[in-house]
Amino acid sequence: MTVKNKKFFSVLLLVSGSFLGYVLWRLLSPVEVIAVHQRNNFSDVLVKNFPFTDRGKISWWLKNKEILKTKYNIPQPASYGNFTIMFWSFGDGYKEEGKYDRLCFKDMKTKVNCIEKDAIFSVNNDSQNRIHFTVYDGDNYLLKENGEVVEYEYE
């Protein structure tokens, strides 16, 4: 093996190791709920380290829905029973409204009460009380009565 090939493989190994380390760190970092903002039957949950995959997001919800209910009292259904929970990336934190189309929370009595609109995941129910999941890359899922989660096309 030539010196040139050794340098190439050393750099490749370093880059690959760094990437693998980052991926492992992200996978092992727990989801952090930064804040919950409530508007009628809509809950906005600001999170860091949310799972990457659709399956990971849905699994996280199924494992943590009781904790969210106990700790944050969500979901809070309307009188007719429907609710929506939106999970947003907290990103760089709260900002002033300034920029067009930021999501601002009126329950905060400060000018620094907005986030960039970076929706990750939502959970809602329908008139038949079925639970729907939306992952913001365009995929929709339904939680069936038997506990199975199936993908479906939103109409």
Query: In 29-77, where does DSSP find H-type helix?
Result: 54-72
Give the chain's domain count. Answer: 2
Q: Are residues 25 and 36 in the same domain?
A: no
How high is the pLDDT of residue 37? 96
| Together in a domain, 4 and 36 | no
Q: Which residue has the tokens 């999501």?
A: 103
How much is the pLDDT for 155?
A: 61
Whole-number pLDDT of residue 11: 67
What contacts 6, CB < 8 A, 6 or more positions away?
Answer: none
Q: Are residues 79 and 14 in the same domain?
A: no
Look up residue 125 and give its two tokens.
């129910």
pTM metric for this prediction: 0.80
Q: Are residues 84 and 42 in the same domain?
A: yes
Claim to verify: residue 13 and residue 86 sit in the same structural domain = no
pLDDT, residue 15, reads 66
Give the residue numbers spanning the domain of 103: 31-152
Same domain, residue pair 45 and 71 = yes
Residue count (the chain)? 155
Say if residue 112 is in the same domain as residue 67.
yes
Question: Between the CA atoms of 56, 58, 60 and 64, what dihedral angle is there, to the nearest 10 degrees?
Answer: 180
| 132 beta partners | 124, 142
**Tell me, what's the pLDDT at 98?**
81
pLDDT in tens, the chain (155 residues): 666 677 776 766 776 666 565 555 455 569 999 999 999 999 999 999 999 999 999 999 999 999 999 999 999 999 999 999 999 999 989 999 887 789 999 999 999 999 999 999 999 999 888 999 999 877 999 999 999 999 988 66
Confidence at residue 17, expressed as pLDDT on a 0 to 100 scale: 61
pLDDT of residue 153: 80
